[in-house]
Structure formats: structure tokens, C-alpha cells
């Protein structure tokens, strides 16, 4: 699914969220794993962040995605027992995203998602306001480019509705940042994502 189709699908899911709760997996059992569908297992990162944190809270992954499998697992017919490495390639990352999802109600509804990427060719970015008083909200930024760094600028005063300075923590890395100016520029490596919690 291209970045444009991904965005169109997300907009649809959010628009109908009061009538229908869609389950948004990164891929399904009927299609390939991220390495097959998007040319890189690393595309799991931005696509899972988008599926989990830009939807309405119902998400998941087919078996094998957490290991970065190169091909989907076929379940029909008798198969030899599969051997997996002792460590998953994306297990800790998926657990971190799931933890963010369940601990923050901002990601469990459809009415609070404002896309702020201005039609960027490779990045989907959205702001989601939290109902909790101590949190202004979350800026979720996903780079779908599998080979190049991408950068994007944001006017935080417009997005957050408050004046600089701004403080946030990036929830995937637990790194804190403080911005003195209203405009920031983020640089994202290929197949990466950031989840900034502003407070």
C-alpha cells in the first residue's frame, strides 16, 4: 500500500469510527509480510506505528512479522515445524507501541486525529489530543521511505494551540526534548517513526 493509499485508508477509518470499529493490522494473513509487501522488513516500524496509533485502537500483527520473516507463513496443509530465532527482530518495538496504545486514550477514538504532514511525499504525521489535563497531546511522525532519510517541519504553536517553549518525550526512545521556537524540523531515518508526547 502506497503512502497516499495508507493515508486515504486512515482518513476513512477515522471518519466512520463512531459507526464501525475496524481492526487495523499491519498486514493480514492473506497477504505477504512487510518484507514482501513493502520491500523491507524494516517497514514494519512506520507501518505498525501508523496502524496502531493513527487508527482507533484495534490492531495486531500476523504471526512471523515480529521476527522480520521474509515470506508470510502459510497455514494450509501439513508443514514442517518452523524454527525461530531466540530473539524477535521487532518484538520489543511492538511491545513498546502496544504499551503506548493501551495507556493513552488519545489512540482509542477517531475524532481527535489531525493530519499535519502537508502532503509530504514519504511522511505521514498527525496530532492527537489527549483528554488528560497534564498532556497536551501526541505528534506521531512516520517515514515510509525504505531507503532515504526524510525531514519535515512543524509549526508547534499552530498544532498544539499554545506558545513556545515546548517540552516533550519521544515515547519509542524515551528521549526528552525542549523546543524554544515555534517551528521545529525533524529528521527521520528510513523506515522510522517518532511518537512525541507534549506536556
Residue ranges of the chain assigned to CATH 2.60.40.1180: 111-198
Average pLDDT of span 154-178: 95
SS3 70: coil
pLDDT in tens, 2-36: 666 777 777 777 777 666 666 666 665 666 677 76
Q: pLDDT value at position 68? A: 72
Q: pLDDT value at position 22? A: 64
Of residues 134 and 153, more confidently modeled: 153
What is the pTM assigned to this prediction?
0.80
Of residues 167 and 66, more confidently modeled: 167
Q: Name the fold adopted by 111-198.
A: Immunoglobulin-like (2.60.40)
Range from 63-67, 167-171, 178-182, 192-196 carrying the lowest mean pLDDT: 63-67
pLDDT in tens, 167-190: 999 999 999 999 999 999 999 999
Please, are residues 114 and 177 in contact by the beta-carbon 8 Å criterion? no
Q: How far apart are CA 121 and CA 65, in angstroms?
A: 26
Amino acid at each position: 500500500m502506497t503512502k497516499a493509499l495508507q493515508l486515504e485508508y486512515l482518513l476513512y477509518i477515522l471518519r466512520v469510527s463512531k459507526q464501525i470499529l475496524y481492526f487495523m493490522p499491519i498486514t493480514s494473513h492473506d497477504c505477504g509480510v512487510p518484507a514482501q509487501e513493502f520491500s523491507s522488513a524494516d517497514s514494519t516500524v512506520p507501518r505498525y506505528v501508523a496502524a496502531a496509533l493513527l487508527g482507533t485502537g484495534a490492531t495486531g500483527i500476523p504471526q512471523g512479522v515480529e521476527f522480520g520473516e521474509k515470506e508470510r507463513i502459510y497455514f494450509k496443509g501439513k508443514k514442517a515445524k518452523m524454527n525461530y530465532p531466540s530473539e524477535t527482530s521487532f518484538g520489543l518495538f511492538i511491545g513498546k507501541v502496544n504499551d503506548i496504545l493501551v495507556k493513552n486514550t488519545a489512540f482509542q477514538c477517531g475524532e481527535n486525529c489531525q493530519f499535519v504532514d502537508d502532503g509530504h511525499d514519504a511522511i505521514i504525521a498527525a496530532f492527537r489530543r489527549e483528554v488528560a489535563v497534564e498532556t497536551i497531546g501526541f505528534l506521531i511522525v512516520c517515514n515510509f521511505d525504505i531507503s532515504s532519510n526524510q525531514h519535515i517541519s512543524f509549526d508547534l504553536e499552530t498544532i498544539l494551540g499554545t506558545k513556545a517553549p515546548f517540552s516533550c518525550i519521544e515515547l519509542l526512545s524515551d528521549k526528552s526534548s525542549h523546543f524554544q521556537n515555534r517551528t521545529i524540523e525533524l529528521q527521520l531515518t528510513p523506515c522510522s517513526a517518532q511518537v512525541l508526547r507534549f506536556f
